[in-house]
Structure 1
C-alpha cells in the first residue's frame, strides 16, 4: 500500500484544460500503471469532443482491489474504471453484473456504477478492441493461422474474438498448462481449431503476445521467433513507449508489427459506448452492454447482490 517510489519526480507540460469542480473522472486501475497510455488517449478524446473529464491512472495492489472497488462505487463523479493487468480476472469476480461476453471469458476490463443501485456492471472489450484495430491496421484474420501467447483475461478475450472472426487455427501457449488447456477447450467448444503448444512462432501467420512479458526492457522474448519470416504479422499488447523486445526482434526480420498503443486506440469506441460518453458505433458487438441508467429492460447480465 502507499507510494512505491517507482516514479521519477518530473512533470509534463499540460496538454488539456485544468480540471474544474464539474470535471468527472475516468480511472484506469492496475499494478503497475506507469506504462499505460489510456490517460493520454482519453485526454485527447475528451479534448476533441468537449467532454469535461480526465483519465487518471490508479495503482491498486491485488490485496487492496476489493476494498478499493467497494469504496469507488460511492465516488459520485466517477465515469467508470478501465481495468488492466493484473486485475481483470479478479475484477470479474467482484463485479455485481456482467455481460454474457465477460462470463464467457471470465474477466472484465471496464466497470461502471449503475446509478440506480450503486452496483458495479462490467464488460470485456479487449477482444473486440484488438480485432477491430488489428484488421484496420494489418488486414483480415479470417483463414489465418494464429498463435496467442498468454491465456489470462486479455489473451482469452482476444482468442475468442479471433475464433468468432473465422481464423483457421488459434493455438494457445501459456506457462500455466492448465490455463492453456482450459482456453483451448473453450475454443474447441465453439468450433475453433485449437491446441495447447509451446510459444514458437514458426508456421503461423499471426503471433500475439498477451502476457506481461515486455513491460521491462530486460524481459525475455515471450515468443521464439526462430524460423519466422517477414510474411508473419506480430502483435504485442504491451503498451510501452519505445516498443518491446519482441517487436524490435520481429521488426528486424521485416514482420508487420501491431503495437499495444494501437490496441488501446481500438478500444476507445467500445469503452466509450460502455461508459455512455461516446455514441454507439457497434464496436461492442454481441455484448449486450447497457448504457448508464439501464436502458435495456432485460439486460443479458449475471446479477449478484450489491
Structure 2
C-alpha cells in the first residue's frame, strides 16, 4: 500500500485533540491534498488540555506548519491562544481551524456549524424556519446553533450541564439574533424538527445516550456530530424507533470547501494532473 509522499518540503497541518484516535480529518483531507497536488499532510497530534498552549505555540513556530485543525476538547481554549478570530469563532467562542497569516499572526475560525448546516441541506433538510434542539453548548454545539440561526432557523434551544458556558453562548447568540435562541426546556426535544447531539457522548461504548431519541417527534431528524463510531448508540436507537438519522461524518465532509479556502489549498492543475497520469 502506497502512502502519501512526504519530503523535506512537505507542509504540515496537525489535528489537535484529546483523545485523537477518533479523528477522521486525516483520512478525508490527505487524499484531497494528494488530488490537488499539494505537498502537504494532515497528521493527528494527541494534546492534553494542560499542554495545549505550549503545543500550539511550539507547532506554530515551526517553519513548515501552516495551520492547525482543532477538535475536542480544545475548541474554546484555542481561541485564547490566537491573535484574531473569524466571525463564527467570535460568536461561538470556539474555533476548529487556525492558520498563520502573511504577517505571522494566528487567525482562527470555526467551520463546524457551516459544515453541519450544509450537510443537512445536502440531505434534504434545510434549516430555514426549523426548530432545532442542540445537546451541548461547546465548540460543535455553539457553531451549529450560530450557523442554524444564520441559515434562518426559527428557534434554536440548547442544553448543557455547564450553566456558565451555556449562558455565555446564549448571550452572544442573542446579541446577534435577538429572541431566537434560548435554554432548552423539558419539552423542547418533542417540539424540534431537528434534534442534535453536539456532545462527545457516543465516542465510547460505555457512554450514556445524550438524550432519549424516543422523545423526538416521529418526523424529526436525529443528528449526531460524533464521527467514530459511524453508527453511534444514539443513531441506532433513533433508527430503531423510526426516526430519520443524520451521521456525523457529513459535517466534516461539507467543511472541505471551507478548509480549502481558509488554508489556500488550490484547485488541481489539469496539465499537472495529465502529466502525473502519463496522458501528456
Normalised by the length of structure 2, the TM-score is 0.88
The aligned counterpart of 1:19 is 6
Instruction: Tell me the distance in 1 between the aligned counterparts of 2:48 and 2:215.
Output: 39
User: How far did residue 52 of structure 1 move?
Assistant: 2.1
Whether 1:216 aligns to 2:204 is: yes
Shift, 1:198, TM fit? 4.9
Counterpart residue number, 2:93 = 106
The alpha-carbon deviation at position 182 of structure 1 amounts to 3.0
Could you say if the C-alpha distance between residues 110 and 171 of structure 1 is closer, same or farther in structure 2, counting changes exceeding 3 Å?
A: same
Unaligned runs of 5+ in 1: 1-12, 280-306
Residue 86 (structure 1) aligned with residue 73 (structure 2): yes
Residue 132, structure 1, aligned to residue 105, structure 2: no
CA distance in 2, matches of 1:261, 1:48: 20
Q: Distance in 2 between matches of 1:251 and 1:214?
A: 15
Shift of 1:66: 0.9
Q: Which moved more, 1:242-251 or 1:96-105?
A: 96-105
CA distance in 2, matches of 1:81, 1:194: 30
Give the structure-1-normalised TM-score.
0.81
Q: Shift of the alpha carbon at 1:64?
A: 0.8
Q: C-alpha deviations, 1:272-296, integer Å up to 9, x for none?
A: 21111146xxxxxxxxxxxxxxxxx
Aligned to 2:195: 207
Alignment counterpart, residue 59 of structure 2, candidates 64, 72, 90? 72
Residues 229 and 253, structure 1, Cα contact 8 Å, conserved in 2: no
Look up the SS of the partner of 1:78 in the other structure: coil
Q: Secondary structure in 2 aligned to 1:88?
A: coil
Return the alpha-carbon distance in structure 1 between the equivalents of residues 192 and 125 of structure 2.
15
- 1:219-238 aligned at under 5 Å gives the runs 219-238=207-226
Separation (CA, whole Å) in 2 of partners of 1:278 and 1:135 = 25
CA shift, 1:192, in A, is: 4.3
Which one of 21, 24, 36 corresponds to residue 37 of structure 1? 24
Give 2:271's aligned residue: none
Contact 2:93 2:169 in 1 (8 A): no
SS of 1:175's partner is coil
Whether 2:162 is the aligned partner of 1:162: answer no
CA distance in 1, matches of 2:73, 2:138: 9
In the alignment, the residues of structure 2 paired with residue 142 and residue 186 of structure 1 have an alpha-carbon distance, to the nearest angstrom, of: 21
C-alpha distance in structure 2 between counterparts of 1:229 and 1:245, whole Å: 18
How much is the aligned-residue C-alpha RMSD, in angstroms? 1.8
* Aligned-partner Cα distance in 2 for 1:115–1:167: 36
